[in-house]
Amino acid sequence: MKVLFKTLGFSLGLTLVFTLVTYLLPQMKGEAPVEKQVDLGSLTMDDFVALGEDLFNNKGTCTLCHKPPPLGRAPDIQGENMVALSAKRLADERYQGEAKDAAGYIMESMLDPSRYVVATWGKKGSNDSESPMPVIDKAPIQLSSMEMDAITAYLQAKDGNEVTVALPTAEAAAEVSAAPAGGSASAPAPAATADEAMAKYACLSCHAMDSKDALVGPGLVDVGGRLTPEEIRQSILDPNAVMVEGFPPAMPADFGTKMTVNELQMIVSFLAEKKG
Amino acid sequence: MMHSKFAKLFPMSLLLMLLFLGITAPVQATDPGTGSVADRIAPVGQVQLTGEPPLETESEVAAVEESVEPRAAPTPSRSDYPDIGVSSRAIVWVLAQLHLFFGALVLAVPLFVLIIELVGLFTGDERYDDMAHEFMKISLTGFSITAILGGSLALVLFLLYPDFMAYMMRVFGAQWLVYAGLFFFESFFLYTYYYGWNAFRYGNRKWVHLSLGLMLNASGLTIMVLANSWATFMMAPSGVNEVGAVVGNIWEVMKGPLWNPINLHRFIANIAFGGAVVGAYAAFKFLSSSDPEKRAHYDWMGYTSNFIAILAFLPLPFAGYWLMAEIYAYSQQMGITAMGGILAWLFIVQAVLIGTILLAGNFYLWAGMSRTDGSERYKWLVKFIALVLVVTFLIWVTPHSLILSASEISQLGGSHHHILGPLGIMPAKNIAVNLMLIVTFLSFQLYRRSDKVATVRWAPAGNALMVAIYVVAIANIIFLGVYYGYFTNTVYKVGSSVAQVASTLVVIISGIVIDTLMFRNAKILPSHWGRIPDRAQYALFALPIAFTWLMGLMGYVRSSVKTHWHVYTVMKDNSPDNFIPTIAYAGNMITIVTVLFLLCVLFMFWVANLSGTRQVKPAAEGGAA
């Protein structure tokens, strides 16, 4: 019996060690794409570009392969100006496609990736005649034409080029299955800096940042001296809890559901440092 | 006697047949029907008027229409999945993995039992025969447990994933019946093989027995490859069009691009797993016994089991490499999801598990050297092997990219550590894993040599050649990994790993060949079975625990690369569990399954020992006393 307990104890202990290792690693969930409708009534080109970026990074799974060297298994298209590069590709004698411009070339690359394979990136043994890239409008990725347009718009806009694809029509909306959970046309990609976050949520429409001047809401140049970071956080999440005298309850109360945790933290830290 | 019984039964059977025909004939004849003769006979569908074309029944017409327009895979919505209040995936996860563990065990044991029986036949050493019989005895209950788990799994799948199962039934059709039929064959051969062991023990009867074992393995392996085809169809469907409608025959459906790589990988892994599990049995019996004879027997049994497990384990990474290469060839996206995406972290856990297996396997071999006095010649090498194992193990578990905050990135001076970062990528890991395999083989080779002294004249030259092969292979592995891994692009990086694996294989194969030739007619030094420290037996427990956990982990990865698809690209998973859970959740699930398996195996061993136990008859009441 003693042997049984000793060996069982050893075996269970070892099992728990392996379990512990899984707790030490980053904990991430891989969410399945969620079907959503795009509100065409309020869709701007900026939203459309943001949707494209979101699709590129999430549902489209483009970044699985299109990474900066040496990690990438496909050209680093986020790191390159695709409009300028498209012109070179179209002029390449190896190019056999039908595209006439950058937008056409990008779209063709998604629908028929083997039409032009960038040198050294072809399937092994194919002599760069066959691309390992999946066709993007087919399973498992299955982007709609509107989603591919959004990605094209993003790839044009990210380097400051003119966006030549048109905003989607109402007919296109019916077939849209937009971004994954947390991302949609009305909730574009998370902001990277406090400035971006404040621009995204239009804080400056109602608050002056460099003076005490009252617009719709109070000026925030000295907000860090008046409020603690916790109070600033409360003012954003629940603006009607404590009202500054003389101001109407006009601030949206739904930032708590719209902002990411990181965006909220960036804005709070930024405002907490503004002491006049 | 026999004749008279038959004579009585035959007329009775004939009478029953006539009676049956007598009942059915009037039923057909008295149905008058309406309209023409052709109309009246059409429902029967068996009769054709002379000179008329064949009749078309309604079912035939429907079949023609159906064949024109194949049915696409179903697209169930979330509400189509029954909700029983507990995660459906968790239930299926536990049952499927337990079924697979036991399936692997009961497929593997008869395989190496047959080989051990053959060894016994050719060497004339009956100990092998007895050990093979004992292996069968301890795994016998496993067949029933496998069947119970498989039946439960099927019921649960039909209950919780009805649309998916309906689709799989439609795709594989009659293959399911073939699968079920094979169990009759397997059961027949299993019971005749096990219970006929002593009845067919010598002479020609032994060959009958071996044939039964061969047929047992053949039916078992056929069952395995059929079941594998369902898993690989779900990962890389073939024989269906892009909406999942069946367009090919059953062979085209089964023979997907991942079928054979999975078949090979599971076949080898099963042997390693089975060897490890029965090794734990031997270790337990060794530790429980104080009788030197029994300890010697179970020490030998444990050694043989470990030998089987490690021997099968060594080529496993190469089979795994082939499988991953085929996954990449089928879908680069799927390959990267496994190796470079959200599931990539699991390979750190895999490294810990394989490291544990190799360390335990090596430790057992080093401890086992104490059985022979001749091992003193090689013991000085053990510390260097241990050093290489530890260093390479640490390189293997070094992660590459971490999830870091901005301040952590600034402290680190980038997203990767400037020294440890390069150790996190595949070239470093390829070097590490190949060196681990090479030094493990070295441990094995030293152990095998420790009770022998070569008597051939060319022994010094043979040793020098062996050392040269080791040195060149190790240098080649390091050079290929460093040069092509860090100084050229990804294409060469992948290509060079094949040459590294080839170097390792050269060491293993040439080692076996040289030793076989060099130690022919060697002087054998005495071995003392049972002369091994008790702590070495714990290595035999570490092996099955690590193997079980590893199989649970890799099974999870294999299944999860489909992401939110039941059948990749053709049938979406819209159930509430269609996301990839966190690593800790997966770890908990794997641990639960491993512990359940451990308990079931204990039960299996206990039942096996029960059959050899006989209660002492109690003294009669009010007896002599």
Domain containing residue A212: CATH number: 1.10.760.10
pTM of the full structure: 0.73
| CA angle in degrees (0–180, nearest 5) for B63-B66-B68 | 115
Of A33, A26, A117, the C-alpha closest to A75 is: A117
Contacts of B598 in chain A (CB under 8 A): 8, 11-12, 15
Distances (CA, A) of B558 to A207, B42, B228, B263, B561: 53, 52, 12, 13, 6
- pLDDT in the model for residue B560: 92
Distances (CA, A) of B519 to A209, B28, B326, B498, B513: 86, 81, 40, 31, 10
Residues 218-247 of B with CB under 8 A from A: 242
The one-letter code for the residue type at B368 is G
> What mean pLDDT is predicted for residues A99-105?
91
> Considering the domain boundaries, does residue B183 fall inside one?
no
> Same structural domain for residues A207 and A122?
no
SS3 assignment, position A74: strand
> Same structural domain for residues A81 and A156?
yes
Phi, psi of B523, deg, nearest 5: -80, 125
SS3 assignment, position B336: helix
> Same structural domain for residues A223 and A140?
no
A vs B, Cβ pairs < 8 A, gives: 130
| 8 A C-beta contact, residue B310 and residue B440 | yes
> Considering the domain boundaries, does residue B151 fall inside one?
no
Question: Which residues, at least 6 apart from B76, have a Cβ–Cβ distance to it below 8 Å?
Answer: B163, B164, B574
SS3 assignment, position B571: strand
How many domains does the structure of chain A reveal?
Answer: 2
- pLDDT in the model for residue A225: 85
Residues A32, B287: C-beta atoms closer than 8 Å? no
Among candidate residues A140, A174, A208, the one where a domain is terminated: A174
Distances (CA, A) of B120 to A189, B139, B299: 69, 20, 18
How many domains does the structure of chain B reveal?
Answer: 1
Least confident of A86-90, A242-246, B293-297, B322-326: A242-246
Q: Residue A40 — very low, low, confident or very high, per pLDDT cuts 50/70/90? A: confident
| Range(s) of the domain holding residue A254 | 194-272
- pLDDT in the model for residue B407: 64
The one-letter code for the residue type at A124 is K
> Considering the domain boundaries, does residue B577 fall inside one?
no
> Same structural domain for residues A166 and A46?
yes
B599, closest residue in chain A (CA to CA): A8
> Same structural domain for residues A165 and A239?
no
Phi, psi of B166, deg, nearest 5: -60, -40
Contacts of A29 in chain B (CB under 8 A): 579-582
| Range(s) of the domain holding residue B379 | 373-402+421-526
Among candidate residues A123, A145, A174, the one where a domain is terminated: A174
Which domain CATH number covers A146?
A: 1.10.760
Q: Does pLDDT of A98 surpass 90?
A: no
Mean pLDDT of chain B: 85
Q: Is B572 exposed, middle or buried (0-12, 13-18, 19+ CB in 10 A)?
A: buried
> Considering the domain boundaries, does residue B446 fall inside one?
yes
> Considering the domain boundaries, does residue A94 fall inside one?
yes
Q: Does pLDDT of A149 surpass 60?
A: yes
> Considering the domain boundaries, does residue B505 fall inside one?
yes
Helix (H) or strand (E) holding A59: none
Q: How far is B315 from chain A, CA to nearest CA, in Å?
A: 24
> Considering the domain boundaries, does residue B430 fall inside one?
yes
| 8 A C-beta contact, residue A56 and residue A154 | yes
> Considering the domain boundaries, does residue B240 fall inside one?
no
> Same structural domain for residues A114 and A224?
no
Helices (H), B289-416: 292-313, 316-330, 332-339, 346-368, 382-397, 406-412
Among candidate residues A115, A139, A174, the one where a domain is terminated: A174
> Same structural domain for residues A203 and A166?
no
- pLDDT in the model for residue B6: 47
> Same structural domain for residues A90 and A165?
yes
- pLDDT in the model for residue A152: 94
Contacts of A65 in chain B (CB under 8 A): 332-333, 336
> Same structural domain for residues A166 and A204?
no
> Considering the domain boundaries, does residue B521 fall inside one?
yes
Phi, psi of A188, deg, nearest 5: -70, -175
> Considering the domain boundaries, does residue A257 fall inside one?
yes
Residues of chain B with pLDDT under 50: 1-2, 6, 9-10, 12-13, 15-34, 41-47, 624-625
